[in-house]
Chains A and B, each alone.
Chain A
Amino acid sequence: MITTDILIIGAGPTGLFTVFEAGLLKLKCHLIDALPQPGGQCSEIYPKKPIYDIPAYPEILAGDLTDNLMEQIKQFEPGFTLGERADTLEKQDDGTFIVTTNKGTKHHAKVVAIAGGLGSFEPRKPKLDNISKFEDNGVEYIIKEPEFYRNKNVVIAGGGDSALDWSIFLADVAKSVTLVHRRNEFRGALDSVEKVQELKDANKIALITPAEITGILGDDKVTGLTIQKKGEEAFTIDTDHFVPLFGLSPKLGPLGNWGLEIEKNAIKVNNALDYQTNIPGVYAIGDVNTYPGKLKLILCGFHEATLMCQSAFQRIFPDKKYVMKYTTVGGVQGFDGTKKEAPKAVVKAIQ
């Protein structure tokens, strides 16, 4: 069981900044995210895109914003459970919470802060009638362990970076790699596109374009696929695995069943006070919450995280007196023993 003061669900910018504000109050944080890396949408959807409305940054790339936040919070030593989705929330008799992920990892926390953005990122599944029957029986939407494909025949579908990158990687592992895309053109990093061209010329990747997978064959395991090339008759190929890589889309998912008040796909919070939900001790901050006048902006998430941490502190230590300190005055004392502080001025007579 992982134990922490504040369990943050969602490691996007709002969730990451919460670690900093909590750390100033000497509260420890642990984050859960369905994605394998921190940063949320900033690293999953648009890491190379600029953001212009982060105060004091006239322009910053979303990926750099994530890197900077990770740097800013490192002395507070946050824990991470990545690649797992928070599935259940159980309130304990003592007012604390246990949150369990889809992989069974349990987290015990005094306070839960949901910073889940638009929800957890789930793979987009192609609309094929029998596809759910083959999930984990030859159909995988995410490649977790490349070795799994050693000496197997693999068909990858998609036209973006992940389809290109995995085709390249598996070309050396799998028995055969076939890449199917609806167009002749691929959208990805230039060197990935060129590398696939090279591997195709060397007969290490079979390319079928412009084409679509129209059917999955097999009894209880995938044995083949039906492929339709534009303007031609459909044909079948044998394969052991079908890996559709059509990107991820966010879904509110299990959070919707936690007994939280939901409005317009977002969690209602008390914005007059502390961004608490209808479950005392559970807060919602950033894009995942809603209140009158809500704006889904990173900078608003930072503000909400800051106020939320003050309330969490009072909830955890109801009898402790506390006044907010400026970091310039008080410095930043890390849990790792480091201390950042303003340099002291010298007082010395000038003769």
Chain B
Amino acid sequence: MQDINIKITDRDGVTHDIVAPTDMAMNLMEVVRSYELAPEGTIGVCGGMAMCASCQCYVKSNHELPAMSDDEDAMLAEAFDVEDNSRLGCQIQMTPEIDGLEVELAPES
């Protein structure tokens, strides 16, 4: 299994080039936590159930991401600072298809 490269801009505006594994069943929220790009307790609060929006991010590249589940869609409908390119990081799995993905973390809420 290959690793993929993604660019993550943290909440202070700093962009990090990250190497993420595709064989560890990791999602974007977990990648952010494993690299400590946001303080513990401010991201992934619900653990990755699409129930808190603390991992909201803006997708900056043109990757075709898997469609939103009803849960993710409904959670974003109640979150703050939502844009058209908002997604929940916990719902974006690390797969070879998203190599080169660029995202920015939404502000803490």
> Are B49 and A252 within 8 A (Cβ)?
no
Q: Is B40 an interface residue (CB 8 A)?
A: yes
> Are A246 and B80 within 8 A (Cβ)?
yes
Q: Is B65 an interface residue (CB 8 A)?
A: no
> Are A159 and B40 within 8 A (Cβ)?
no
Contact residues, B66-99 vs A (CB, 8 A): 70-71, 73-75, 77-78, 80-82
> Are B77 and A183 within 8 A (Cβ)?
yes
Q: Is B19 an interface residue (CB 8 A)?
A: no
**Chain B nearest CB: distance from A256 CB in Å?**
11
> Are B78 and A46 within 8 A (Cβ)?
no
Contact residues, A87-127 vs B (CB, 8 A): 118-119, 124, 126-127
- Chain A residue at minimal CB-CB distance from B109: A124
Q: Is A247 an interface residue (CB 8 A)?
A: yes
Q: Which of B40, B41, B46, B75 has the most CB of A within 10 A?
A: B41
> Are A249 and B78 within 8 A (Cβ)?
no
> Are B74 and A249 within 8 A (Cβ)?
no
> Are A252 and B77 within 8 A (Cβ)?
no
Given contacts A46-B46, A124-B109, A265-B41, contact A187 B77 (CB under 8 A): yes
> Are B109 and A249 within 8 A (Cβ)?
yes
> Are B78 and A160 within 8 A (Cβ)?
yes
> Are B51 and A45 within 8 A (Cβ)?
yes
Out of B46, B71, B73, B78, name the residue touching A158 (CB < 8 Å): B78
Out of A119, A126, A185, name the residue touching B80 (CB < 8 Å): A126
Which chain A residues border B56 with CB–CB below 8 Å? none
In the bound complex, how far is the Cα of B28 from the Cα of A330, in angstroms? 49
Residue-by-residue, is B21-46 near A (CB-CB < 8 Å gives 1, otherwise 0)?
00000000000000000011110011
**Chain B nearest CB: distance from A105 CB in Å?**
26
Please classify how large the interface on chain B is, using the bins under 10, 10 to 19, 20 to 34, 35 or more: 20 to 34
Which chain A residues border B54 with CB–CB below 8 Å? 249
Out of A119, A124, A159, A264, name the residue touching B77 (CB < 8 Å): A159
Q: Is A146 an interface residue (CB 8 A)?
A: no
In the bound complex, how far is the Cα of B23 from the Cα of A244, in angstroms? 41
In the bound complex, how far is the Cα of B64 from the Cα of A258, in angstroms? 48
Out of B41, B52, B81, name the residue touching A127 (CB < 8 Å): B81
In the bound complex, how far is the Cα of B76 from the Cα of A183, in angstroms? 10
Q: Is A182 an interface residue (CB 8 A)?
A: yes
Which chain B residues border A30 with CB–CB below 8 Å? none
> Are B39 and A264 within 8 A (Cβ)?
yes
Residue-by-residue, is B45-63 near A (CB-CB < 8 Å gives 1, otherwise 0)?
1100101101000000000
> Are B45 and A118 within 8 A (Cβ)?
yes
Which chain B residues border A249 with CB–CB below 8 Å? 45, 52, 54, 109
In the bound complex, how far is the Cα of B109 from the Cα of A266, in angstroms? 19
Question: Told that A45-B51, A185-B74 touch, could you supply 19 new A-B pairs with CB distance under 8 A?
Answer: A45-B52, A118-B41, A119-B41, A124-B80, A126-B80, A127-B81, A159-B74, A159-B78, A182-B78, A182-B82, A185-B73, A185-B77, A187-B70, A247-B78, A249-B45, A249-B52, A252-B41, A266-B40, A266-B41
Between A and B, 20 residue pairs with Cβ closer than 8 Å are A41-B46, A45-B46, A45-B52, A46-B49, A124-B109, A126-B80, A159-B77, A160-B74, A182-B78, A185-B73, A187-B70, A187-B71, A187-B74, A187-B75, A246-B80, A247-B78, A249-B45, A249-B54, A249-B109, A265-B42
- 9 nearest A-B residue pairs (beta carbon): A265-B41, A187-B74, A264-B40, A183-B77, A265-B40, A182-B77, A159-B77, A159-B78, A118-B41
